[in-house]
Structure 1
């Protein structure tokens, strides 16, 4: 795969949540820039994404794992190291609001599910990769947060992403002198193809549609550009922070929301 600057030539890069959306785009662009990529997801669709990279002349391996628990995250990172030889870069992309509704309409199980999905995969994967990067004497971690830390109709998700921001800065402080950079990108609303596997498989009623539309309107209203971003615009920011071009950047939460800082 050629045509882009080879910022990741010789680098081993792991992308979680890589079957669809932003994660898939990051993996594709990283591979086109020379990375040997491990694409991690709990969906079988991740195999298609890896096969597409290989068919285009890139290097990729697909890893099936549920990252909401420690065992799955540790196993995925170990499998990635076995396949790639090491892990230079980790992009933690798993997450995304499952339900869009005012907080009083969330029940206990839904709140816990939102936190498990949008915090724990990042937390566990950071913990799993850290010893490898310490041993190697350096590395780069980019966590995918969200500008929805200031948003409506998704309080549990907002809380999870706020925790991701705290995790990012605290890890950066602890590990900067070890040569490990830890940053986050906070995407705003992003145009993407319809998800082949939806986050929420339950039936949606008129209230759900209304609450979802409120989120769309608020997201565009708080963006200076009054639009959603593209998958490539999000991947560009993530890969900048992942690359050596950002060698003096750590502990930073970069909003990519057309002016909305979250």
Structure 2
């Protein structure tokens, strides 16, 4: 269990599946104490797997689209361990895939609420304990889809994450806190236990989603999707002391696609 995150206290949002789950597992493998934040019951399985492997993990289910939910998650980590060393803001993801003219106003709102506000709120909630400690790392998970097809509201939200990362990093760099972002490209992952959009078949056409898949592969010089470990590896690097002189940047992790 000795590793880059030995005795670090870590909050990972959206850690019940996908990239967030793999990040939490690997940080625990390297000695971190991890709080799994996810509304899905899958969070129980993640905590069980980590603890059975000898790691330390706890869980909380909150609504991260509200400030109160984000504050509760950070407070849970404080109650458990007295501090927050690392925050990984992973919650987000495309709900609908379609040309912009086909979005309804409520769908635009939902996309931004899902992929911007949890990161914005969690950053704010984590600042007080990090500033008090004079140290901390925030890693925001963005996306190379800030330049892509059939996801305009999602792209706008992730563009906001990039701007948040740059501006907040500038504000707190001299007070001991680093703020960075990773921008994943297309990533192979197991089927989600809880789909982002359970009504996708009714809400969008297969060819609209296929446009995203085709564009993702064509935009990447490597001409393939990445793996969960390739995404998690970049996030762990940014969170570690190996990246101690890096702040305010968004690292594209898309096989050469810069987004």
TM-score (norm 2): 0.98
Structure 1 unaligned segments of length 5 or more: list them.
Answer: none
Query: Which residue is 1:212 aligned to?
Result: 209
The equivalent position to 1:128 in structure 2, one of 109, 122, 125, is 125
Query: Which residue is 1:111 aligned to?
Result: 108
CA distance in 1, matches of 2:75, 2:21: 21
CA distance in 1, matches of 2:107, 2:113: 10
Query: Which residue is 2:238 aligned to?
Result: 241
The number of aligned residues is 259
8 Å CA contact retained: 1:73, 1:121: yes
Deviation, 1:83, is: 1.4
What do you get for the CA RMSD once the two structures are aligned?
1.1
Superposition pairs of residues 106-185 of structure 1, within 5 angstroms: 106-185=103-182
Structure 2 unaligned segments of length 5 or more: list them.
Answer: none
Superposition pairs of residues 1-262 of structure 1, within 5 angstroms: 2=1, 6-205=3-202, 208-262=205-259
8 Å CA contact retained: 2:3, 2:30: yes
8 Å CA contact retained: 2:136, 2:178: yes
8 Å CA contact retained: 2:112, 2:157: yes
Deviations 1:142-192 (A, max 9, x none): 000000000000000000000000000000000000010000000000000
8 Å CA contact retained: 1:63, 1:80: no
4+ residue stretches of structure 1 with deviation over 3 A?
Answer: none
8 Å CA contact retained: 1:91, 1:144: yes
